[in-house]
């Protein structure tokens, strides 16, 4: 049987694609190509998690939000401070786990996203 070997991309539906692409470029440093996306090169130790949550899972944000993207960052505290300084809606909650540190924020369309700082050495 053939099997999925990884996640090839994450795609978001936008009410205003141009504005949302500009927001991600300004606040998360995702420089979009002319085609409207960004390819990230894999690095040693990198991984992508794929999971399914129940419909009432609060982790994904509002019940109308059908997906959430997790972005890997080198310094979670610095990224959260940068977003707060820019006026971005950022959760006060930070979760420290064996898998790393996690924080959350919302883009200009209200989509909740997760920021992940992997454990040292990963």
pLDDT greater than 90 at residue 81: yes
What does the H/E/C string look like for 15-80? CCHHHHHHHHHHHHCCCCCCCCCCCCCCCCCCCCCCCCCCCCCHHHCCCCCCCCCEEECCCHHHHH
pLDDT greater than 70 at residue 65: yes
- pLDDT score, position 5: 67
* Average of per-residue pLDDT across 16-31: 92
Q: Which band of pLDDT confidence, cut at 50, 70 and 90, is reported for residue 53?
A: confident
- pLDDT score, position 115: 92
- pLDDT score, position 85: 96
Please tell me the pTM assigned to this model: 0.83
Whether 88 and 46 have beta carbons less than 8 Å apart is answered as no
- Mean residue pLDDT of the chain comes to 87
């Amino acid at each position: 049987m053939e099997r999925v070997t990884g996640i090839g991309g994450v795609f978001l539906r936008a009410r205003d694609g141009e504005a949302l692409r500009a927001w991600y470029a300004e606040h998360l440093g995702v420089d979009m190509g002319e085609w409207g996306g960004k390819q990230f090169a894999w690095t040693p130790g990198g991984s992508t998690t794929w999971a399914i949550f129940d419909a009432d899972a609060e982790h994904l944000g509002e019940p109308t939000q059908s997906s959430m993207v997790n972005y890997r960052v080198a310094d979670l505290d610095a990224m959260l401070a940068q977003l707060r300084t820019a006026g971005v809606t950022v959760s006060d909650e930070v979760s420290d786990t064996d898998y790393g540190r996690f924080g959350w924020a919302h883009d200009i369309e209200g989509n909740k996203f997760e920021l992940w700082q992997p454990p040292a050495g990963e």
